[in-house]
Structures are given as C-alpha cells and as structure tokens.
Amino acid sequence: MSFGPRLAELRESIEAEYRQRTPASGAMHARAQRHMPDGDTRTGIAFAPYQTYIESAHACFLYDVDGNALLDFNYNATSLIHGHAHPAVVTAIQRQAARGTAWSAPNPLQIELARDLCERVPSLEQVRFCNSGTEANMQAAKAARAFTGRDRLLKMDGAYHGTYDGLELNATEARGIPRNVRDNVVLAPFDDAAAAERLIVANRHELAAVIVTPVFTRGGLIPPSPGYLAALRDITRAHGVLLIFDEVISFRLAAGGAQDLYGVTPDLTALGKVIGGGLPVGAFGGRAEIMRVYAEGEPPGLTHAGTFNANPLTMAAGLAALELLTVPAFQRLADLGGRLSHRLAAVIGDDSAFQVNRVESLVSLDPRPTTIEPAAAEVLRLIRLALLNHRINMPGLCAVATVMTEVDVDRLVDAFGEVLGTFGDLLVPTTSGGVSA
C-alpha cells in the first residue's frame, strides 16, 4: 500500500535512524524469531521494524540493550503508577522474597490488601485475588452467571477485557474462539445508552451481566459521556441484570477508581495492574451477596483455585504501592496528566487530523473521529518511532507516574513539537477525512 512519497521518505529516514541506534535490539529480534512465534509472547506490543529490548528500568526510565535511556510514558501498560523499581516497592518485595514467595495456605498480607481495596473502591464489599486482569474479568463473569443463573454477557464492541474467550469476542472474527461462544455474547456500541437499553431489554431473560470499561481504552481513549454510566446502572438494575466495571486500567483514575470519579457503583468490579505494585495480579469483587457464590456450602461454591492467587510477594508489592497512593498522589497524577494533554494539544493545534484525549492521568493522541485509517495508523507509528529516536517511549495510551516531574512531561512535549515539525502538513486532514499522506 502506498501512502505517497512524503510519508515514504519520512519512514525511510526515521527507520534508518532507529536501526542505527538499536543494533543490539535488532539482533535480539532476529534471534527471538527462532524460539518464539513472531519473536515474542505478548500480543499488542510489537511494532515495525522491531521492538526495543529493555534490560532494566528505574523511576521514569527504561534502559535498552544498546545503552539508551528512554523516558517512559507506558509503565507496563499503565500499571506502574509509581514508576519503575520504586524503592518502597523494591524493599517490600525483597523483604517478602526472603521470607518465601508462595504456599498453599493464606497469608496475613492478603487480608490487608483485601481490606484496603474494599475501603477504597465503592462497589467492593468482598474481593478475591487472581493473577491477571483477564482472570479477574473471567471470574466476575462467572460469578454473575452463577448468581443470576443466566448465560449471556453484554459487552461493548471493541472493548478489551483480556483474553478470556467469552469476553474477547468483538464484531470482527476472533480466531480460535468456538463459534458457539458468540451465542452468549451481545455486543453494544460504547457510550450509546439507547442502544444498550434496546439490547438489554431484548435479552433481559438471558442476560447475566453488562460489562464495561468505564473509560474506553482500546484504540483510543474515550471518556463516557455525562450520564452514560448512570444510565447503564439504571437499566441493568431495572431488569435484574448485573453491572460489571472492568477497572483494570481505570482504577488509577481516582482513589476509588472510575466508579468513584463518575459516582456510579457497579455490582462487580475487576481489577489488575496498579494493585499488584508491578507484579502479576488480578482481583475481582463486589456485593457480598453476589460474592457468596464462592463460599463453600449448599449449593457448593464456585471453583476459583489458583496456585499463585494472593501470593505474598504480590500482596507485599501491592500494599506498598497502595500505601503511596494517597489523595495528594492522585492530585499530582491529575496535574501532570493535565499539563501533558494541554501542552500536546497546543502543539498539534485545532486543524490537525489528530486530537489529544485525556482522563486524569491517562493521555492519548488519537485520530479525530473523521480521520480515515490506515494512513493515520502509519503516521502514528512513525511519530512514536521518531520519539523513540528522541529517547522517549510514547505508547498509544500514555500514563504518567507519581515519580515524574513537569520537566519530564515537558521533554515529551518539546520532542513531540520537533517531530511534528518534520511531518509538516502530513497531519492536516484532507477533504476526504484522511491524512495528507
């Protein structure tokens, strides 16, 4: 596919600089292909020509295998809210590692983390731990099905809830998922309360739950319109359908997650990322009446086993991270997010094919709704690659961390301005809604 000579020229020079700057990463990329399909074990983080291999990280920097220090705005997909290797978290992990990492018995720390989460998040009366956001959503769905005795789930088309079959489905085909999984999934457009209501009413006798990321974070950052989440709450309640918030990312937006920010309390909540302090984690919970499906008794409780559930290492790291997550910390995150989005928006201006979206500490540079792919995606890839050449890691969804300063934020803004200068009018929308590539 051709995007025109200007973009081809830029691509050549940006990629050449990237290759020249990262030869060790290039060699590792080639080696990795031999042992792992596509050279990696994590979908969604690859980019052309190849990824940067990171060997260590500290505070707001990633250190790559070629000796480059990259200012990070990714923080492992928004999870390291205090930056990399925060001393308090490192100490907590070290202390616990020396005291054992897992055993088939509960530990005191899990009670502390469960209590902390229940105190923070409005919907959580009780909680259980698992090892990923995927599992947290899967178990929330399972609890909803067991509680209601119904099978179907309504999810928003395109939303990402991890890789559980029943929640991975979108309107586009998903290879490897049995066709009959679709029988139990209803898809609705995000942020459209009227459409959700129609679908909930039509499926009310089969619907166990509606699951939604309160802020849409896949392929762009979209906050909910005022009243949308409250409408979902009212409609589900009116029809005896449970409401699940996937707060795996949005927990970082306020002391009690997005449900606290928007003042809407779901029945069940799935968590992950931040609450593990950088170690693998998931948690799900909600009303005690629903969570009782996991209690032993009559009928027998649901199976939710897991060799590493609530392991003390993760619990220790999570507690250390949450202890630092104070009201002033959230204020600082919001201030940094605000500064980043305002300054980026000022750099791109009003007549760009792209726009800056922001919710608290999350910021995203997205094509305007009228901008047509795929040229926009290629322009975004090249902007990110050019920023890597400026030693800045700017992912699709940017997050700020409490250890960052205004200087760090301004460094991205300045580099972004320079990069945009080289793109010139490639970022201006064409009359047909494309980018002028």
Exposure string of 357-389, with b = 16+ CB inside 10 Å and e = fewer, is bbbbbbbbbbbeeebeeebbebbbbbbbbbbbb
Min dist CB 425 to ligand PMP, Å, is 34
Look-up: residue for tokens 């599992």?
A: 135
Q: How far apart are the first and last CA of the chain?
A: 12
Of the candidates 18, 50, 75, 160, the residue annotated as catalytic is 160
Task: Look at residue 71 and give its three-state secondary structure.
Answer: strand
Task: Please say if 246 is a catalytic residue.
Answer: yes
Q: Please identify, using beta-carbon distances, which residue of 68 and 250 lies nearer to ligand PMP.
A: 250
Min dist CB 132 to ligand PMP, Å, is 3
CA distance 182 to 223: 27
Min dist CB 282 to ligand PMP, Å, is 6
- Contacts with ligand PMP, 249-268, as mask; x by CB under 6 A: x-------------------
Binds ligand PMP by CB under 6 A, chosen from 25, 126, 217, 357:
217
Min dist CB 89 to ligand PMP, Å, is 18
Handedness of CA 257, 263, 269, 270 (dihedral sign): negative
Helix, strand, coil percentages, rounded to 5, for the chain: 45, 15, 40
Contacts of 78 (CB under 8 A, 6+ apart): 249, 252, 273, 274, 362, 397, 399
Task: Look at residue 241 and give its three-state secondary structure.
Answer: coil
**Nearest-CB residue to ligand PMP?**
133
- Contacts with ligand PMP, 57-96, as mask; x by CB under 6 A: --------------------x-------------------
Min dist CB 304 to ligand PMP, Å, is 16
Binds ligand PMP by CB under 6 A, chosen from 110, 134, 352, 364:
134
Binds ligand PMP by CB under 6 A, chosen from 26, 133, 224, 318:
133
Describe the crossing of helices 228-238 and 193-202 by its angle, rounded to 10 degrees. Answer: 10
Q: Please identify, using beta-carbon distances, which residue of 133 and 223 lies nearer to ligand PMP.
A: 133
φ, ψ for residue 400, nearest 5 deg: -100, 160
- Contacts with ligand PMP, 25-64, as mask; x by CB under 6 A: ----------------------------------------
**Could you say whether residue 160 binds ligand PMP (CB under 6 A)?**
yes
Task: Please say if 160 is a catalytic residue.
Answer: yes
Q: Which stretch binds ligand PMP (CB under 6 A): 143-151, 244-252, 261-269, 333-341?
A: 244-252
| 69-72, strands of its sheet edge to edge | 54-58, 61-64, 69-72, 392-393
Q: Which of 394, 387, 403 is nearest to 58 (CA)?
A: 403
Q: For residue 269, list its beta bridge partners.
A: 245, 285
Of the candidates 273, 294, 366, 408, the residue annotated as catalytic is 273
Min dist CB 289 to ligand PMP, Å, is 25
Going by the DSSP 8-state scheme, the letter that residue 36 receives in this structure is S
Q: Which stretch binds ligand PMP (CB under 6 A): 12-20, 63-71, 128-136, 345-353?
A: 128-136
Q: How many CB atoms lie within 10 A of CB 401?
A: 23
> Longest C-alpha distance within the chain, in Å?
70
Q: Please identify, using beta-carbon distances, which residue of 47 and 422 lies nearer to ligand PMP.
A: 47
**Could you say whether residue 246 binds ligand PMP (CB under 6 A)?**
yes
Going by the DSSP 8-state scheme, the letter that residue 63 receives in this structure is E
411, 350 Cβ separation under 8 angstroms: no
Task: Please say if 273 is a catalytic residue.
Answer: yes
Q: Which stretch binds ligand PMP (CB under 6 A): 9-17, 126-134, 223-231, 307-315?
A: 126-134
Binds ligand PMP by CB under 6 A, chosen from 83, 162, 223, 312:
162
Min dist CB 60 to ligand PMP, Å, is 20
Annotated active-site positions, please? 160, 246, 273
Residues lying near ligand PMP in the complex (CB under 6 A) are found at 77, 132-134, 137, 160-162, 213, 217, 246, 248-249, 272
